[in-house]
Chains A and B, each alone.
Chain A
Amino acid sequence: MNLLLTLAFALLLMQPQSQDGDVPKGYQGTFAITNARIETVTNGVIENGTLVIRGDRIEAVGADVTIPPGAEVIDAAGMTVYPGLIDSGTQLGLAEIGAVHETNDFREVGDLNPELEALSAVNPNSVLIPVTRVSGVTTVVTEPSGGLFPGVAALINLVGYTPEQMHAGGVRMMTLEFPASGRRGFFDRRSDEDLKKAAEKALKKLNDVWDRAVLYARIDSAYHAAPDPDHKPEYIPEMHALLPVVRGEMPLMIKVQREKDIRAALDWVQERGLTNVVFSGVAEGWRVADKIAEAGIPCLVGPVLSTPTRAYDRYDKAYANAGLMRQAGVTVALRSGESENVRNLPFNAGFAAAYGMGREEALRAVTIAPAEIFGIADDYGSLEPGKKANLFIADGDPFETATHIRQVFIDGFKIPMTNRQIELYREFLHRDEGRLTPVKVVPPSN
């Protein structure tokens, strides 16, 4: 089996590319994926079906679908089609090389930056993007971080030449780093007292900001109800950016990890009667799962592949967290928290599945669940006619490492199944092939 896979994959890599100097490039069109096992996620599994893509949409899905004339037919016998995977928390497009600050755009100076837009800084040409999408991850939340209000996160499809082309479903979420009461790690040597003070101070700041935003919104509404050009209210960019959040029009994505902080965030949300809220991270969510479920706040959970938060936690708690929350009735989507290795989202889902979540729920947590949370389930998250053509063909379970993703479609684009990592592989597997002069292996001493 393994050998077969290897062979199949090698063949895939050896598919003739275009002319010399050409770069493989995605394209839209009419495609018919035939003889496929289709895991729709929302409407069960079609064992031997056809899926038709036209433009950016899925036109038809079913066992009995007519192949449109002129369609590019992809025979997917022995393969399965899945909806594109959605990663609910990354820095893709905002981060290129970790330690090279000049290539990173996710952290602005200061604590209060709600007016910043992640979408504006997404680099469509990031080398990280092709490396990611060949894994079947088609869509990601890319988020700013740090401080209190680091900016507005955006959902992007991993195809396109401009941020606008990439923006998925118009999803934008105001990011709030909820004040953390705990130590940031073993290197954090602040005293208990200092920690407490710092947390109180940060929470007070958050409340002050919020109260002002509420006041700003009230004045803004009053002004627009009866404009008085002589008394035009101050324009404050930070407050202005918070308007849709205060009014419940834009989701507030609260990043929160510790049990204590989650409880505080729940109180904070409830005190203000906020309804358009999601939690992100939620490492200790299982400890408060009943309360989160009761509050009806959906959670973007992860990374799953992380260490337990407490020394006395059972060793597998981070793997089990998402499943435990799901079992308690929390709406859960998964996030890798990654940038260059968002390609590991399927394995985060696989570990969550293996440690209690179950494969089906894990698959939902990277497809339809985030689509529902982001309010774009009409367009994303499953294989249904009329939805966006974000999908991929795999020769097995996409959470298994042995499975190869054969073809990815994003926004209807047939994605070239290559990237720099694959190109390097092809160049260097047999590096000196084609060389006529003798190979000098160990370089001489200088």
Chain B
Amino acid sequence: MKKQAFLALTFALAFTLTAAAQPKVGDVLIKNGAVLTVTHGTLENTDILVRDGKIARIGQGLRAPDGVEVVDATGMYVMPGIIDAHSHIALSAVNEATNPVTAEVTMEDVTNPYHIGIYRALAGGVTTSHTMHGSANVIGGQNETIKHRWGFTNPDDLRFEGAPRTIKFALGENPTRVHGKRGASGGKAKVPATRMGVEAVLREAFADGQRYMEAWDRYEAEKKRNSRAVPPPYDLRLETIADILRGDVLVHCHSYRADEILMLMRVLKDFGVDKVTFQHANEAFKVAPELAAFGAYASVFSDWWSYKFEVYYSTAYNAAILTRNGVVTSVNSDSGELDRHLYHEAAKSQRYGGLTDDEALALITINPALQLGIADRVGSIEVGKDADLAVFDGHPLSVYAVPQMTFVDGVRYFDRQRDPDDVRLFVDPEASLDDGAMISNDEHLHELEAVGDWLFHLK
């Protein structure tokens, strides 16, 4: 028996022990691509030098410092990493659908770094996702902004450091169906069953939050005078709403109809909240001037419509109308299928209403970055920004363009030429191999949030 054979055996058994530690920031020189900066036009035959995860230089004829890998992007297009302003990937659960107000829950508690959807999104050039609570509740949970650092298993490693807190609101059919029409989880129906009720729930929640904030402010003041001051009851839900009122949490509101969009703007104005992004907002085009005047943002689908009544009077020209009316607009996925081709979704938005290339690309880069409060870090190719980049073999607005590489903080997480087929981070040691197969026969599972509560309890 030759020892070589058994050394091989020994090695084989040993090599599964530990995965090598991954770096979190990278250095790379991407040479000679057509650089779609989004904010400063297209730079032909241009190099991007990345150091420590940041874009260090943009220019021609850049030389790679020692030890920095060079990627030849001749004939390719380099665009900012795509940002999905509305996603439910990488989450262990989506809806705490038991109460019309659940501001206290936060998706950062249920980030699931093992979810294959993260890699699939990377393979579509997406580097950041806004992973949101569902739309069962008028005030749902807080959302999480993640970077697609595939391979890390600690949820903390996916967090977009420094991204502002955001919270999900929801108007219209979903909250009224879940709570009002029959009552959540078989309970008794309760407010809201109508759009009027939705407004009432919002106003009551804000008023309670205000009183809570005042009570604690009073206590903090009194504590200085009186060592026996008694603190008011602690309530994480109201505390979160108070944080919205303080301007510490950005509102992202699931909404469709023009009337409910106007309603929320009224309510927010009354309570002094001025940062809001209307999500989906299929009828935002009808109130584009009001949105522009408020300074509200819109994050829309390229062409989804008619999957429920409140989106019947939609138009795929929504993004174009909003853009032309001066509303900062993004195109999002809300889907683990669409998020793999957001560049194509942007291209469709360009088709319907004739946006320029830069306007179309802005829908999935700088505009969602503005809406998430991270535009100083990502969303365009500029020196000093995070090196979140996507490389395509054709113009990303072409249907024939195939994403080739995706970088987050200068680290290559997707490479079409190099990656293995099976990229799972977790393999069930017991499941029969057939269990990998899972097909949804339902081709009409549009809009994750619309399809019934059972869908929300993803494992």
Contact = CB atoms under 8 A, between A and B. Distances in A.
Interface of A: 2-3, 5-6, 9-10, 91, 95-100, 127-128, 180, 182-187, 192, 257-260, 283-284, 303, 305-316, 337-341, 343-344, 347, 350-351, 353-355, 359, 399-402, 404, 420-422, 424-425, 428-432, 439, 441-446
Contacts of B432: 192
A316 B421 CA distance: 9
B444 A98 contact: yes
B347 interface: yes
A60 B248 CA distance: 68
B285 interface: yes
A313 B286 contact: no
Given A350-B399, A399-B400, A429-B321, 13 more contacts: A5-B354, A97-B309, A182-B439, A185-B439, A359-B400, A424-B285, A424-B313, A425-B315, A425-B320, A425-B353, A429-B317, A445-B269, A446-B266
Given A2-B357, A98-B444, A343-B303, A401 B309 contact: no
Pick the most buried of A5, A353, A441, A445: most chain B CB atoms within 10 A of its CB. A441
A315 B286 contact: no
Interface in B354-387: 354, 356-357
Interface of B: 116, 119-120, 123, 173, 262, 265-266, 269-270, 285-286, 288-290, 292-294, 303-309, 312-317, 320-321, 324-325, 336-337, 340-341, 344, 347-348, 350-354, 356-357, 397-402, 421-424, 432, 434-444, 446, 450, 454-455, 457-459
Contacts of A192: 432, 435
Nearest to A1: B357
Contact of A186 (B313, B436, B458): B458
Contacts of B353: 425, 429
Contact of B347 (A306, A312, A401, A428): A401
Given A98-B446, A99-B307, A341-B303, A445 B441 contact: no
A421 B314 contact: yes
Contacts of A425: 285, 315, 317, 320-321, 352-353
Given A303-B443, A312-B421, A338-B443, A258 B437 contact: yes
Shortest Cβ-Cβ A-B pairs, 4 listed: A6-B354, A350-B399, A441-B293, A98-B307
Given A422-B317, A431-B286, A314 B421 contact: yes
A119 to B, nearest CB: 21
B434 A260 contact: yes
Given A401-B350, A401-B351, A431-B286, A344 B315 contact: no
Contacts of B316: 421
A443 B258 CA distance: 12
A10 B307 contact: no
Contacts of A6: 354
A312 B293 contact: no
A339 B56 CA distance: 48
Nearest to A255: B441
A390 B442 CA distance: 30
A368 to B, nearest CB: 21
Contacts of B341: 305, 351
Given A401-B347, A428-B288, A354 B401 contact: yes
A184 B443 CA distance: 12
A415 B280 CA distance: 31
Contacts of B350: 2, 401-402
Contacts of B347: 401-402
A52 to B, nearest CB: 30
A423 to B, nearest CB: 8
A371 to B, nearest CB: 23
Contacts of A307: 120, 336-337, 340
12 contacts: A100-B308, A187-B455, A307-B120, A310-B438, A341-B305, A351-B344, A401-B344, A420-B313, A428-B288, A429-B324, A443-B262, A446-B266
Contacts of A284: 437, 439
A442 B119 contact: no
Contacts of A341: 303-305
A442 B309 contact: no
Contacts of B290: 441-443
Contacts of B312: 97, 127
Contacts of A343: 303
Contact of B293 (A313, A347, A351, A442): A442
